[in-house]
Amino acid sequence: MQFDFQNFRTVGQDNPDAWRDPLGLMLASTGEGVFGVDLEGLCVFINPAGARMIGFEPEQVLGQNMHILTHHSHGDGAHYPMDDCPIYNAFRRGEPCRIDSEVFWRQDGSSFAVEYASYPVFDQGQVRGAVVTFVDITERKRAQEALHRAKDELEVRVAERTHALETALQQLRELAAWSDAVREEERTRIAREVHDELGSLLVALKMDVGWLDKRLSEQEQRAAEEAQTMREKMRGKCQNMSRLIENAVVNVGRIITDLRPSILDHQGLWGALEWQAQEFVQSAEQELKWCMEVNEQRVLPEPMAMAVFRIFQEMLSNVGRHARARTVDVDMVEREGWLHLSVEDDGCGALPQAFESAQAYGIMGMRERARHFGGVIDIDSAPGRGTRMRLSMPLPDGEVLT
């Protein structure tokens, strides 16, 4: 099984007889490493490509124990016992193998990922050794590792996006449920106010009108001396009816304002915001610091104006419900095509997590309104130093009154 490499390494030059050795020619021309070992594991031949891969000349390898030379350790440097080597099992047990999870070692002490196959060689039914073919699969392993990393990263991203979508969907469901609950609560409140306020006023008016009708029908039958007294009573009833009607008108106006602030139609967004701020601090007994630097001639589209107004109402509502503040600072500025509206208080403040809670429906509602028009809500708060809520919304190239 000894091979003479001198016979095929000079094909076409000074050794034309090398063409008569097709096996030697094939071994010399292949890019894969090929070597043979005898029953003691000693190298009996190796092709040039195989020798180059392990950093030797072919003559240096012949007669060497190939396991000790190039397969002595695992990839992590741990000792690789010869009895465990699959290459040797090929001639010890007659078991061929193909392995792509190990390394071969070079002369300089470095290693490379290898895929090798070992096949027993038989002569007259007896195993005489083994032939091993091997290739450097370092780049393949790198590509596989890169692919695995990319797959893992993709799975992580998909999991993150899935979790984010599930969270957003859950928040959307909760927000929708909260919105329905708020809508029903508002309807109930309006129904009660109509029943308790307007209903009682209208009943009182009906009773007074009935009293007047009855007294007018009896007036002709009364004596003259009673006429003066009756007129005074009727005058008093008319005055009371007038007050009831006036109260009914006030209550109807208040209910209508809660449903849709008509001041938006009459004074525009900027006037409505200032009116709302004044109403709030007057009711909450707080001090207002008001600063507005906007083009008051600008008219926003009605849906956007309503969104800004409702967000502002919710900001003030948060101050009233949670802040326990003495002063409310409202700052409104138009800069580089954006509207910046901030409400800052000197109240108790809160941890940032409180504004990111799944139950912070008011905050979610503000953010959804702002997001619909390309805006954002920023909140800066800490316990003991108050809260600042800021709406930033791009202004459209809308109409400006002249």
Indicate which CATH number applies to the domain containing 309.
3.30.565.10
Two structure tokens written together for 91: 């001639």
Residue 200 belongs to some domain of the structure: yes
Looking at the fold, whether 128 and 159 belong to one and the same domain comes out as no
Measured CA to CA, the distance from residue 114 to residue 317 in angstroms comes to 70
| pLDDT of amino acid 223 | 57
Confidence label for 258 from pLDDT (cuts 50, 70 and 90): low
Q: Locate tokens 């080597």: which residue? A: 85
- Cα dist from 342 to 56, 159, 325, 353, 377, whole Å: 76, 36, 16, 20, 9
Last residue of a domain, one of 255, 275, 309: 255
Q: Is 65 helix (H, G, I), strand (E, B) or coil?
A: strand
For the chain, helix, strand, coil in percent to 5 are 55, 20, 25
Residues 20/8, Cβ–Cβ less than 8 Å: no
Q: Please check whether residue 388 lies inside any domain of the structure.
A: yes
Task: Say whether both 51 and 98 belong to one domain.
Answer: yes
Structural domains of the chain, count: 3
Q: Please check whether residue 261 lies inside any domain of the structure.
A: no
CATH number at residue 93: 3.30.450.20
Do 148 and 128 share a structural domain?
no
pLDDT band, residue 372 (cuts 50/70/90): confident
How many degrees, rounded to 5, is the angle at CA 123 between CA 117 and CA 129?
Answer: 40
**Crossing angle, helix 302-318 and helix 361-372, to 10 degrees?**
160
For 263, the token pair is: 């001041």
Q: How many other C-beta atoms can be found within 10 angstroms of the C-beta atom of residue 270? A: 19
What mean pLDDT comes out for the span 267-278? 89
187 and 281 share a domain?
Answer: no
Instruction: Let me know the angle formed at the C-alpha of 175 by 173 and 177, rounded to the nearest 5 degrees.
Output: 70
> Is the same domain home to 121 and 153?
no
Helices (H), 13-99: 22-29, 48-53, 58-61, 66-70, 86-92
Residue at a domain's end among 110, 136, 162:
136
Is the model's pLDDT at 291 over the cut of 70? yes
Do residues 195 and 306 share a domain? no
Range with lowest mean pLDDT among 190-199, 277-286, 382-391: 190-199
Given a cut of 90, is residue 209 above it in pLDDT? no
Mean pLDDT of 59-69: 93
Q: Mark whether 247 and 364 lie in a shared domain.
A: no
Percentage of the chain lying above the pLDDT 90 cut: 36
Is residue 171 included in any domain, yes or no? Answer: yes
Whether 260 is in a domain gets the answer: no
State whether 288 and 353 are in the same domain. Answer: yes
Contacts of residue 88, Cβ cutoff 8 Å, sequence gap at least 6: 37, 41, 67, 82, 130
Q: Which of 102, 136, 170 is the last residue of a domain?
A: 136
Q: What is the mean pLDDT of residues 289-300?
A: 89
Cα distances from 312 to residues 88, 317, 391, in angstroms, run 82, 8, 9
Same domain, yes or no, for 65 and 156? no
- Mean pLDDT, the chain, rounded, equals 81
Query: Whose structure tokens read 């509502």?
Result: 317
Model pLDDT, residue 229: 73
Question: Residue 14 — very low, low, confident or very high, per pLDDT cuts 50/70/90?
Answer: very low
Does 8 have pLDDT greater than 50?
no
**DSSP single-letter state for residue 379:** E
**What is the reported pLDDT for 5?**
36
Residue 131 shares a structural domain with residue 149: no
How does pLDDT run across 149-181, given as a tens digit for each residue? 999 999 999 999 998 888 888 877 777 767 756
Is residue 61 within 8 A of residue 35, CB to CB? The reply is yes
Please compute the mean of the pLDDT values over residues 369-387 and round it to a whole number: 90
Distance between CA atoms of 281 and 139, rounded to whole angstroms? 72
Helix H or strand E segment including 330: strand 327-335
Question: Is residue 282 domain-shared with residue 380, that is, in the same domain?
Answer: yes
Q: Looking at the predicted structure, is the pLDDT value of residue 328 above 80?
A: yes
Let me know whether 111 and 161 are in one domain. no
Greatest alpha-carbon span in the chain = 158
Cβ-contact 151, 135 below 8 angstroms: no
- Per-residue pLDDT tens over the stretch 93-152: 777 889 999 999 999 999 999 999 999 888 887 888 899 999 999 999 999 999 999 999
Which tops the pLDDT comparison, 113 or 17? Answer: 113
- The Cα-based distances of 283 to 278, 280, 288, 350, 357 in angstroms read 9, 5, 12, 23, 29
Residue whose C-alpha is closest to residue 306's, from 344, 261, 342, 351: 261
User: How many angstroms separate the Cα of 316 from the Cα of each of 274, 311, 364, 382?
Assistant: 12, 9, 15, 18
Q: Which domain holds residue 118?
A: 5-136
Q: Is the pTM of this model over 0.95?
A: no
